[in-house]
Structure 1
């Protein structure tokens, strides 16, 4: 009986070590899931060759930490649910929100974004100083994104669209005054849609710059160790100039 128990323990030992993270040194590749958020994340129609400023920064940081990283395009709601369940490692260009603290780890700051009012050039936005000033306009935002959730929390009436392009087109061609969104992605889509000469950006002075992070599920195996490696690589590329060169390429 004792011999049988000893044999069973030897058979299960590798699995126990794997669960404890003792084999973390064997990990060479990580998988992250993203959504289209140019210029931070650019997902082509074919979903091959995902690029963008944050993609390049994350790749360089992981490379400095001797890890490869692969990216997959996945709907945002599925990413969040999967991270909460611990079935995927994480995502890129993710903001820190109170409801995410329970199940997410946040890296050192990767980049940042600022929230603005995007409008047609002829719309008078001179009175916009605070988010509450949007009450005086018809507003659209992207369903489920942080900015749309903020409008909901502040009880500011608004419409939603499922895509950034749809929101831009609603602001430009429908009876919508303001798109509440991030500045750089809005400018990117305006150029892509050929409407960049027809719009303007109005800063909302009370809205602080929003840091963006690499976010990982707390319950995904070895996520804390992977995050430590990533942060070390990120510090290295900020010191050696790689980080600054990537930002200059996109901005």
Structure 2
């Protein structure tokens, strides 16, 4: 009877400390978030990590540029990213990286472009995801000043805009771009042109970290993230969304999908 009482007390204590977080995410960012089904790599990993300590999320989906703004205004308990803004100075707490975004410039291979330094972008038109300019101003300033830089919140458009020559370069995460290549290929039913990926900055996992207003929630998240990596749940979520696209993309362009996960 005493053991049962202890277990019941532990359960009640666990439940009492469990929070439902109102959390801000960017609008549809396949394969990382699918608002209609509250699914995707990033949403499921964050949910699983928080669930280890009994927490859950109530996700809201905003234009990417509004995510940090809404968080700073206190509209949300947590946000998927700060988009390059320093939230720690406001008293917020950064979690460990949940997913890794590997942003690159993308060109049609037939253009034979080489992007090694910001000056290589001179005269080239660029379509990018929202908020990229704030993160990479030294690379994008010239294009913005010359009217050659555009941010498009619908990243699936980047594939067709590049394919049809409306822009010289796209700036996107590798896996997001490749995921949309698959969708465009399936919709058109014709092969796509081969593209070239240009890595232009050192990949830093800390560029994209979830941010929380409560330290204890951040600590629970970090602990849960470690645990789901150890159990294999973390990798299983990645595999569910990227193994199948890998096979499809290899068929389309004879390229290999780079499944980027955080160690």
Question: What is the TM-score of this pair, normalised by structure 1?
Answer: 0.74
Asked whether 1:67 is paired with 2:62, we answer: no
Q: 1:50 to 1:244 in 2, by over 3 A?
A: same
1:74-105 CA-to-partner distances (Å, cap 9, x unmatched) read 2223322121122211222x267354442342
1:94-125 CA-to-partner distances (Å, cap 9, x unmatched) read 26735444234210121212121222342212
**Which of the numbers 207, 229, 240 marks the counterpart of 1:249?**
240
Unmatched tracts of structure 1, length 5 or more: 1-23
**Which of the numbers 98, 122, 131 marks the counterpart of 1:110?**
98
Count of residue pairs brought into register by the alignment = 215
Task: Provide the secondary structure at the position in 1 that maps to 2:122.
Answer: helix
Contact persistence 1:116–1:182 (CA under 8 A): yes
Q: 1:50 to 1:61 in 2, by over 3 A?
A: same
Unmatched tracts of structure 2, length 5 or more: 1-14, 243-263
Contact persistence 2:24–2:60 (CA under 8 A): yes
Asked whether 1:207 is paired with 2:192, we answer: no
Contact persistence 1:118–1:199 (CA under 8 A): no
Asked whether 1:138 is paired with 2:132, we answer: no
Measure, in 2, the Cα distance between the counterparts of 1:213 and 1:150: 14
Asked whether 1:156 is paired with 2:152, we answer: no
Tell me the residue number matched to 2:166: 175
In angstroms, what is the RMSD of aligned CA positions? 2.6
Measure, in 1, the Cα distance between the counterparts of 2:211 and 2:119: 30
Q: 1:210 to 1:52 in 2, by over 3 A?
A: farther
Structure with more strand by fraction? 1
Deviates more, 1:194-203 or 1:64-73: 194-203
Measure, in 1, the Cα distance between the counterparts of 2:180 and 2:120: 25
Q: How does 1:47-86 map to 2 (within 5 A)?
A: 47=36, 49-86=37-74
Measure, in 1, the Cα distance between the counterparts of 2:229 and 2:153: 35
Q: How does 1:26-65 map to 2 (within 5 A)?
A: 26-35=17-26, 36-43=28-35, 47=36, 49-65=37-53
Task: Provide the secondary structure at the position in 1 that maps to 2:238.
Answer: helix
Task: Provide the secondary structure at the position in 2 that maps to 1:102.
Answer: helix
Q: 1:50 to 1:228 in 2, by over 3 A?
A: same
Shift of 1:189: 1.4
Q: 1:198 to 1:42 in 2, by over 3 A?
A: farther
Tell me the residue number matched to 2:6: none
Contact persistence 1:131–1:207 (CA under 8 A): no
Task: Provide the secondary structure at the position in 2 that maps to 1:82.
Answer: helix
